[in-house]
Amino acid sequence: MAERDPQEMLHGETQQVEPTEAEAAAVKSADPRRKKVLLGLTGAFLLAGGGWYMFHDTGHVSTDNAYVGAESAQVTPLIAAAVTDVPVVNTQYVHKGDVLLRLDDSDFKLAVEKAEAAYLKARRQYQQSSATSGSLAAQVGARAADIGQAQAQFVAAQSTVAKAKADLDRREHLAGDGFVSREELTSFRNAYVSAQSNLREAQAAIAQAQANRGAAQESYAANQALIAGTSVDTSPDVAAAKAALDQARLDLSRTIIRAPMDGVVTNRQVQVGQRLAAGNSVMTIVPTGAVYVDANFKEGQLTRVQPGQPAELVSDLYGSKTVFHGKVVGFAGGTGSAFALIPAQNATGNWIKVVQRLPVRIQLDPKELASHPLRVGLSMEATVDVSRKDRR
């Protein structure tokens, strides 16, 4: 290499030095060696990656076609009424039993009062029927006594007829000898006729008394049929009135709609003053602590998937650093296309096979959900460890 001029060094000027032939030859000889080293390292990485795939990745199946779901509760009124208060809003977290909706209860309070009056009336009518049974039983006894009295009068009338007949026969026998006047004989004849009339009246009185007793017995039996074998609480009329009262009270209690579970208020569709019909959906309660994931795996991925196998899931909401853990709890009854509104018809000649996906239900850890809540509809990436057997 040529020596540099000291004057040039003082002024800071540099010159480019051309490599010698020996140096160029050394560089050329080093290039093939460097290529061989790089190829060797690349092959090692590929072998390592293939080995990891063979011994690790084949024990897992993954999909990013997975979404969060929950058994949400549709809040619907069971009665028709106007809305007076809506104390909750969308995104609000509510606990089971919290008031979600208040309806106008004026008509239902009046219905309760009317049902209470009917119930009290039914109880009093039963008590009156019980008292009437005692009175009718006494009347049956009185009618029996009337029959005895009429029979006694009939016997007395028979005796009177017999005496009148004997007196008349004796007077007619004496009248032939002139010992009895015609006026006296007529008087005894009239007495005999009168005795016979009294006998017939006594006989009719017996029949009347017997008829009265029969009527009293029928009235007593009819009244007993209403209360026999029952009490004031088990009487049919009282029970029907009690059921009507319970229904009225139930309708009144339904004017206040409460949360059926813990969750977040979603899709509120009701305002104060709006009149609701029974069965109209007014809002939805989503239980954030009991959500699950439906992972839609391809049918070829489900060969080794079984209930009870562990799964790991990642949500875009929290990023890849937050991993949810769960387990497979079951498979859907069919693919999504099988339950489509217009199912695919493959009976034509232009059929092309399309790989189907089957929803797999994955249950999540409640403790992890408490610290990192999820919402229905969020997308997830699910990975199931199929190397493990059923651990249920």
Kindly report, residue by residue over 127-168, the tens digit of the pLDDT.
Answer: 877 777 666 677 777 777 777 787 888 888 788 878 878 777
Question: What tens digit of pLDDT does each residue of 331-374 get?
Answer: 998 887 777 777 666 666 666 777 889 999 999 999 999 899 99
Distance in angstroms between the alpha carbons of the first and the last residue of the chain: 80
Is the predicted pLDDT of residue 200 greater than 90, yes or no? no
Q: Residue 42, Cβ neighbours under 10 Å: how many? A: 10
Domain boundaries, the chain: 59-71+286-340+354-385, 75-105+254-280, 108-250
**Rg of the chain over all Cα atoms, to the nearest angstrom:** 54
Average per-residue pLDDT for the chain: 81
What is the pLDDT confidence band of residue 16, given thresholds at 50, 70 and 90? Answer: very low
Task: Record the pTM.
Answer: 0.62
What is the pLDDT confidence band of residue 117, given thresholds at 50, 70 and 90? Answer: very high
Joined together, the tokens standing for residue 99 give 């008031």
Write down the CATH number for the domain with range 75-105+254-280. 2.40.50.100
Q: Residue 379, Cβ neighbours under 10 Å: how many? A: 14
46-85: burial string, b at 16+ Cβ within 10 Å, e else = eeeeeeeeeeeeeeebebeebbbbbebeebebebebebee
Question: What tens digit of pLDDT does each residue of 252-290 get?
Answer: 999 999 999 999 999 999 999 999 999 999 999 999 888
Class of domain 108-250: mainly alpha
Write down the CATH number for the domain with range 59-71+286-340+354-385. 2.40.30.170
Is the predicted pLDDT of residue 241 greater than 80, yes or no? yes
Q: 């991993």: which residue's tokens? A: 323
Is the predicted pLDDT of residue 221 greater than 80, yes or no? no
Mean pLDDT of 105-120: 96
The closest of 212, 214, 206 to 150, measured between CA atoms, is 206
